Structure 1
Amino acid sequence: MWARYISFFILSASMLYLVIYSIIFSFKFSLTAFFLLLVFGFSILYAIFTEFKAIKKSSKTKTTFNFLSLLCVFGGALSTYFLNIYLSQGSIIAASLIGIIGSIFFPKYSLPIYTGAFVGMISPDFSHNFYHICAACIIAGFIYELSKEIFVGAGGKLGTIAFSSWLITYLIFDLTLLQSSFNYQIGYELLLISFIGAITTYVLYNYFSLDPVLSSALISLIGALILPVIIPDLKNISPSVIMAATFAGMSSKKRENWYKMILISFIVPIFFTCSYCNLGGIGGKLGTIAFSSVLTIDGIFILLKDISYKN
């Protein structure tokens, strides 16, 4: 039981860290976005509180630890890192390729491999060394195993695990995260890209029984290859937006129905835009954006359900 509480706290705190930064930036970016994100933040807190209550009510079975999953996280991270940094394929193409390979050849361990791939999605401009990568891999592997029974079926959870591992590594080694400027607006293009990424992944996974990792990685790879050509003005961000959306689309239909997924797909670009300038360079941020979007809609629907139940 303690493992669930530890992993719950780590994932929740890491996500809220990103959300708070997004709220702060949105105040400078747009007052409308600021108040909207405040609502989203309260909704996320309500969803987190509901998840916490579910943990307390859950059975007290011991959490088993699979060290092979830890090795898969390592393998996914290092192979993605090699493709990303040394072969200059970029983080999105690298992680997508590793996700596809892991899903096809090692389907039983595709989830930890994909989690590791997110750890390896770091920017070449981010100041780090090999020991930092190893530290993040170990932390991510342990969080992955400890969190298997929390936030079940929520898209973006794997990326949040990777993001959490890098935040902890950042705090331990006093690393410097990247800051950047954002010169885009939340236009219909970003909303459409996110909608396509989330819904196609969700449909492939939940209605065509495709592996969730393969569903996400395949759409992410296609998006990374064709979107910069189709929409050259958004070539620097469109692959990231569609990949973040595919992570949201990895949600199980037992947790998110199709109309909730549509709403989630419209939340993703908002969090993406408002978090773009901060906490850059480390892996897992796109997944955390997706996770925040999923819990935003979860919290709203849970709150509405609780209100209607009381009435």
Structure 2
Amino acid sequence: MYRQLMAHITFFMVKFLAFSAGCFACFLLHDQAHVALVLSAAVTGLVGTFIPFPARFGNHPYAAIYAGSFAGMCSSSLINSYWELSFISLIGASLYVLTMNLFAGFGGRLGSVAFASVALYMLAKGVF
């Protein structure tokens, strides 16, 4: 039971760190380095493929990096701090893990997860 719980936590943490890395890298590229949005997402996805992950995680960390880069494409006028990007990453990683087996074989899942994570954050920000 304990090992299974730790395996699930490890699985989520890898997804969260990968999603965060993609989100932060893309956001910093277009906000600080003034790289075009699409190019910053493409560079983030390309560089992310060279990060070695253990084989037990499969291709999921790479997909999470790319989904995070989609979320990182949000406008810098909407994001006031890096804590907000962290919260978007937490929402995005949670949605990624929850929908991992739900939309298997359907295109657009990564973009949908990125959109939903930013939209849910902006909705919560507007409410509170």
TM-score of the superposition, structure 2-length normalised? Answer: 0.79
Q: Does structure 2 conserve the Cα–Cα contact (< 8 Å) formed by 1:144 and 1:161?
A: yes
User: Aligned runs of 1:124-273 on 2, under 5 Å?
Assistant: 124=76, 126-130=77-81, 131-174=83-126
Partner of 2:64: 112
Q: Distance in 1 between matches of 2:121 and 2:110?
A: 17
Kindly report the root-mean-square deviation, in angstroms, between the aligned alpha carbons of the 2 structures.
1.7
Amino acid corresponding to residue 127 of structure 1 in structure 2: L
For these two proteins, the number of residue pairs brought into alignment is 111
Partner of 2:4: none
Q: Does structure 2 conserve the Cα–Cα contact (< 8 Å) formed by 1:91 and 1:123?
A: no
SS of residue paired to 1:111: helix
User: Aligned runs of 1:68-107 on 2, under 5 Å?
Assistant: 68-106=14-52
Taking only the aligned residue pairs, the percentage that are identical comes to 24
Q: Does structure 2 conserve the Cα–Cα contact (< 8 Å) formed by 1:116 and 1:140?
A: yes
Q: Deviations over 1:58-109 (max 9, x none)?
A: xxxxxx4511111110111101111011000021100100111112334742
The Cα shift of 1:151 comes to 1.1
Instruction: Tell which structure's C-alpha radius of gyration is larger.
Output: 1
The Cα shift of 1:132 comes to 2.1
SS of residue paired to 2:34: coil
Q: Structure 2 regions of 5+ residues with no counterpart?
A: 1-7, 54-58
Higher RCO structure (Cα 8 Å, ≥6 apart): 2
Q: Distance in 1 between matches of 2:30 and 2:107?
A: 24
The Cα shift of 1:127 comes to 2.9
Q: Distance in 2 between matches of 1:106 and 1:145?
A: 20
Q: Distance in 1 between matches of 2:107 and 2:49?
A: 17
Q: After TM superposition, which residue ranges in structure 1, 4 or more long, deviate above 6 angstroms? A: none
Q: Distance in 2 between matches of 1:168 and 1:127?
A: 13
TM-score of the superposition, structure 1-length normalised? Answer: 0.34
Q: Structure 1 regions of 5+ residues with no counterpart?
A: 1-63, 176-311
Partner of 1:9: none
Q: Distance in 1 between matches of 2:68 and 2:14?
A: 13
Partner of 1:54: none
User: Aligned runs of 1:4-23 on 2, under 5 Å?
Assistant: none
Q: Deviations over 1:86-140 (max 9, x none)?
A: 000021100100111112334742101101111100123x332123211111100
